[in-house]
């Protein structure tokens, strides 16, 4: 699968996730087992209005989405994998009015479990948070065919 195909599939997939769409998440970069998503700044995800710093929950959603989506960049066929656990370490608050990026990689794939790690950062590469997660493989048949076809966009 080439990277443009990956980006197209991921964009279609993210479009189906209400919360990710509402947050305005978009694909910045995708490769073999790697993915970067972008979370734009917006007023409604602010945690502290005095400083304008965005809420940790939005960062958690960004990292959960990126970690879950990077699986699409690692597997041949689309497979929905539920999150088993997620651990986020917050390094520093994000600078207000700037987008936050998250880059994730799958570092181990087994028939049952997928292990990912993810880093949230801003311009200048300052780390905002780190995250490790595990996902359970329930098989591609667990998602209806029409949905898989929608994501694949008719391309195999």
- Of 46, 75, 109, 152, which one interacts with another protein (CB under 8 A)? 46
32 vs 57 by CB, closer to another protein: 57
Using CA atoms, how far apart are residues 118 and 139, in angstroms rounded to an integer? 23
The site string for another protein over 132-151 (x = CB under 8 A, - otherwise) reads: -----------xx--x----
Identify the residue among 32, 40, 77, 82 touching another protein (CB under 8 A): 82
Residues 86-115 binding another protein (CB under 8 A) are: 86-90
Taking every pair of Cα atoms in the chain, the longest distance, rounded to a whole number of angstroms, is 49
d(CA 35, CA 59): 16
List CB contacts of 50: < 8 A, sequence separation 6 or more: none
Is 82 exposed, middle or buried (CB count within 10 Å of its CB: 0-12, 13-18, 19+)? exposed
Residues 5-24 that bind another protein (CB under 8 A): 16-20, 22
Residue closer to another protein (CB basis): 3 or 88: 88
Chain positions contacting another protein, by CB under 8 A: 16-20, 22, 43-50, 54-58, 60-65, 68, 80, 82-90, 143-144, 147
């Amino acid at each position: 699968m080439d990277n443009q195909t990956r980006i197209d599939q991921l964009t279609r997939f993210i479009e189906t996730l209400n919360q990710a769409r509402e947050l305005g998440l978009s694909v910045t970069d995708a490769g073999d087992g790697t993915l970067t998503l972008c979370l734009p700044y917006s007023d409604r995800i602010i945690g502290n209005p005095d400083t304008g710093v965005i809420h940790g929950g939005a960062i958690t959603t960004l990292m959960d989405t990126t970690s879950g989506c990077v699986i699409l960049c690692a597997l041949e066929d689309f497979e929905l994998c539920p999150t088993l656990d997620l651990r986020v370490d917050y390094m520093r608050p994000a600078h207000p009015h700037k987008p936050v990026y998250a880059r994730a990689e799958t570092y181990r794939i087994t028939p049952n479990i997928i292990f990912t790690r993810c880093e949230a950062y801003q311009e200048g590469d300052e780390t905002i948070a780190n995250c490790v997660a595990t996902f359970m493989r329930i098989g591609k048949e667990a998602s209806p065919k029409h949905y898989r076809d929608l994501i694949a966009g008719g391309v195999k």
